[in-house]
Amino acid sequence: MSPDEIARLALEAFDQAVQASGAFRDRPGQRLMAEKVAQTFSAATLGRVEEGAGEPVRAIAVVQAGTGVGKSLAYCAPAIAAALARNTRVMISTATVALQEQLVHKDLPALAALLPQEFRFGLAKGRGRYVCKLKLSRLAGEAGGAAQAEDDLFADELAASAPLHVMEARAVFYAVLARDLLSGAWDGDRDNLAQPPETDMWSPVAAESSSCTGKHCPVYNQCAYYEKRKELVGAHVIVVNHDLLMSSLGSRMLPELDNCLLVLDEGHHLPAVALDHFAASMDLSRTLWLETLGNRARRVGGLMGVTESADVPRMAAQLRQSMADLSRLLVDLHGQAFRDARGDKGPLRFRLPRGLLPEVLDEPLRLLQLLAESFLAVLNTIAKALRTAMRDQPDEARRLSVLYAQLGMLSPRLEKVQATTELLLKAAESEQDTVPVAKWFTFETSEGAMDGGQLVIKAHASPILPGSMLRQHFWTRVRAAVVTSATLTSCGEFDFYLRESGLDKDPAASALEVASPFDYARQGWFVTVETLADPRQADAFTGEMVQSLLGDLAQVAHGALCLFTSRRQMGLAVAALEGSLRAAVLVQGELPRALLLSRHRARVESGAASIIFGMQSFGEGLDLPGPLCESVFIAKLPFASPDDPVGEARAEWLRAVGRDPFSELVVPATAIRLAQWAGRAIRLETDKAFVYCYDRRLVNTAYGRRLLQGLPAFVQQRRSAAGLVTPA
């Protein structure tokens, strides 16, 4: 079938879905996007290319689809039709699990009822979101009082040091999980628990690849993760998230990127996810796990006949000593500064300028890397022997699976040590075209107080250019992709996003902006509230902003959203609330998100005023149409945190090569964030809403005016400190 024929069928599927929905509205922007998707997914060459056939054709579309366009239908219908015509699959990646579930439980079932062609779809999550029944049964046994061996699978220095009441709570938690899993009241998915557990409670029972023996596991046929995987075998559409997509590169967990149609929804998150994926960190202070791992490896390796395992306890001891030596050197370098900052909350961070290691750290880090690599090599040999034994001795599968998991529970920590030292040792050369790695160390006490607890020192390293990582490790694998979001342009241009995503120099990439169908000039007003205090004068500005905000909040009749740039700022605003106004405010963190939003809706529907106070995570993805959000209050321009070590390192490098980090990095990133925050106001064609921003820099600086130009076409006004409202 020719590309033109595939594109025609794909667009026909979209038209059929729109007409069959029974709620047809003329949305030129939605059809324009569907055309772009159809063209992109018909043009690319998929799968193996015959020798002599030339280079495969790649096609990547970057589509900004404004709020209200209906982008999920615009990409789903043509993508699925194109995939069926090409006998391949569609992989849709979203920013969060919540968005995955919306697609799987709402959007795709609705589309399946509209299209004449049948298709199947499934949800893919990472292993860590499912329970490992083998691990849970061991811990549930502990909950029942069964004695465990000294080298039990779950021995861990952090868990062992927990107070008695915490240990008892864990025992009850695991017993209840095991009971509900056995009865069928729970399906093993962490996201389906009534109350999401804390990480330290969930991690010991999570189904991680490092401790999983797959089909060799004695409870493989009852495994929640593999049961869900089976649902994906015949799926034409697989819905994943960006974290899983990045972590699956080079594995067989997901379809091959050169042989499927890829949609990246909420694609503005992709660069940040990529940076997180390629960063590394290690704890240099809490190292007892190495002794545990060494003892396990010696015992299991001996049982498997791996002669090298006899030397593992010595390796583990050397590693612990090497990490302790490195910690002492860091205390010599930064300990006094840490002690001088006794009053500071949270960890104290020391970043290495230009990514240059002090000479005194070079040799210890090289020794640490060598020891970690040697230890990992022995562990891999033992793991291979265990897998061979499980294949050859199926009657021993349960015992061998437990042994495999004993090593696999702790080996990822060793992999972190190896990866972190490798990044820390990566040299930053003097040539202008060489980009350094961000490197920093953090100091804190384990109990969060300066007068007690163990000093915890961690080492961190991260690349600073997400585009470079994505270009090297991701886009080279992709043949056909559509990247979409409501905010991919910055100050009206795609340039920033294309650089951040690594597509700026990719000849296969093209960009399209699809305008929102909303009439912002009729539906919305953006008011810049000017304060006397400069927003950079934190205390004076916050005090004045809060007083102005309180006056505006008192006028709220139905629903409103107030967004802050720091927890301290939000706390001061909450403290200033009194009487009925305080009763009307719901504060992020005081209730689980779902419950908070449910209460907000109930209040507004009952005719009462309800105001949500939140921060960055409430600034996007929150859909509060109609009276649920008639006003959005933005306390201050949402610049990125000034103490972000990766951002600092990147800005430092840009200045070193004669570029301006503020105009090139800070302003474009802030423009996208501001557009997201302002975008909470208008969600329907019938909405009318006000957006207030209490940052005068929007109207009295050149970059502020650039930020305003990147917003939808609201009626722009400015309100002086005296209360006078004029056109902006």
Residues 89 and 135 in one domain: no
**Given this model, what pLDDT does residue 303 score?**
92
Residues 170 and 302 in one domain: no
Within-domain flag for 574? yes
Q: What is the pLDDT averaged over residues 443-471? A: 82
Owning domain of residue 159: 129-220
**Given this model, what pLDDT does residue 142 score?**
47
**Given this model, what pLDDT does residue 452 score?**
52
Residue 217: pLDDT band (50, 70, 90) is confident
Q: Is the pLDDT of residue 160 over 90?
A: no
Residues 509 and 594 in one domain: no
Residue 147: pLDDT band (50, 70, 90) is very low
Q: What is the pLDDT averaged over residues 528-535? A: 95
Q: Is the pLDDT of residue 433 over 60?
A: no
b/e per residue 478-502 (b: at least 16 CB within 10 A): bbbbbbbbbbbbbbeebebbbbbbb
Within-domain flag for 228? no
Q: Which three-class secondary structure state does DSSP give residue 493?
A: strand
User: 371-377 — which CB contacts under 8 Å span 24+ positions?
Assistant: 371/315, 371/318, 371/319, 371/322, 372/319, 372/414, 372/417, 372/418, 372/421, 373/418, 374/315, 375/297, 375/312, 375/315, 375/316, 375/319, 375/414, 376/411, 376/414, 376/415, 376/418
Q: What is the pLDDT averaged over residues 613-638? A: 94
Domain end (from 481, 514, 547): 514
Rounded Cα distance between 470 and 457, Å, is: 30
**Considering the chain, what is the average pLDDT of its residues?**
90
Taking Cα atoms as reference points, which of 617, 627, 482, 341 lies closest to residue 38?
A: 482
Please state which of the ranges 53-57, 106-110, 466-470, 673-677 shows the lowest mean pLDDT: 53-57
Query: pTM for the full model?
Result: 0.90
Residues 19 and 95 in one domain: yes
Distances (CA, A) of 634 to 547, 562, 696, 707: 14, 6, 12, 14
Within-domain flag for 349? no
Q: Is the pLDDT of residue 432 over 50?
A: no
Q: What is the pLDDT averaged over residues 565-575? A: 95
Q: Is the pLDDT of residue 601 over 80?
A: yes
Query: In the structure encoding, which two tokens stand for residue 337, read together?
Result: 């500064």
Query: In the structure encoding, which two tokens stand for residue 326, read together?
Result: 């490195």
Please state which of the ranges 35-49, 54-68, 163-177, 586-600 shows the lowest mean pLDDT: 163-177
For 719, phi then psi, to 5°, come to -120, 120
Domain end (from 195, 220, 245): 220
Domain end (from 429, 450, 483): 429
Q: Is the pLDDT of residue 156 over 70?
A: no
Taking Cα atoms as reference points, which of 450, 386, 461, 453 lies closest to residue 422?
A: 461
Cα 145 versus chain centre, distance? 38
Query: In the structure encoding, which two tokens stand for residue 234, read together?
Result: 């015949």
Question: Tell me: the pLDDT tens digits for 421-430?
Answer: 999 998 744 4
Q: Is the pLDDT of residue 151 over 50?
A: no
**Given this model, what pLDDT does residue 537 score?**
92
Q: Is the pLDDT of residue 106 over 70?
A: yes
Q: What is the pLDDT averaged over residues 671-694? A: 95
Please state which of the ranges 76-80, 206-210, 248-252, 367-371 shows the lowest mean pLDDT: 248-252
Residue 342: pLDDT band (50, 70, 90) is low
Residues 544 and 407 in one domain: no
- CB of 712 within 8 A of CB of 678? yes
Within-domain flag for 595? yes
CATH assignment of the domain containing 268: 3.40.50.300
Residue 152: pLDDT band (50, 70, 90) is very low
**Given this model, what pLDDT does residue 576 score?**
96
Within-domain flag for 453? no
Residues 57 and 202 in one domain: no
Residues 159 and 299 in one domain: no
Q: What is the pLDDT averaged over residues 8-32? A: 87
Place of tokens 């809706």: 601
Within-domain flag for 439? no
Q: Which three-class secondary structure state does DSSP give residue 434?
A: coil
Residues 7 and 94 in one domain: yes
Query: In the structure encoding, which two tokens stand for residue 216, read together?
Result: 């060799």
- CB of 60 within 8 A of CB of 476? no
**Count of structural domains, the chain:** 4
Residues 526 and 663 in one domain: yes
Rounded Cα distance between 684 and 626, Å, is: 7
Within-domain flag for 460? no
Q: Which three-class secondary structure state does DSSP give residue 606?
A: coil
Residues 108 and 177 in one domain: no
Residue 52: pLDDT band (50, 70, 90) is confident
Residue 25: pLDDT band (50, 70, 90) is low
Beta bridge partners of 561: 612, 632
- Would you say the C-alpha torsion 145, 148, 152, 157 has a positive or negative sign? positive
Alpha helical stretches, state H, 393-511: 397-408, 411-424, 466-473, 495-501
- CB of 262 within 8 A of CB of 246? no
**Given this model, what pLDDT does residue 54 score?**
80
Q: Is the pLDDT of residue 346 over 80?
A: no
Distances (CA, A) of 49 to 35, 54, 84, 255, 715: 26, 8, 20, 17, 53
Residues 333 and 296 in one domain: yes
Residue 590: pLDDT band (50, 70, 90) is very high
Beta bridge partners of 691: 526, 632
Residues 49 and 107 in one domain: yes
Taking Cα atoms as reference points, which of 522, 487, 557, 523 lies closest to residue 682?
A: 523
- CB of 530 within 8 A of CB of 699? yes
Q: Is the pLDDT of residue 409 over 90?
A: no
**Given this model, what pLDDT does residue 144 score?**
38
Q: Is the pLDDT of residue 154 over 60?
A: no
Within-domain flag for 636? yes
Question: Tell me: the pLDDT tens digits for 269-278?
Answer: 999 999 999 9
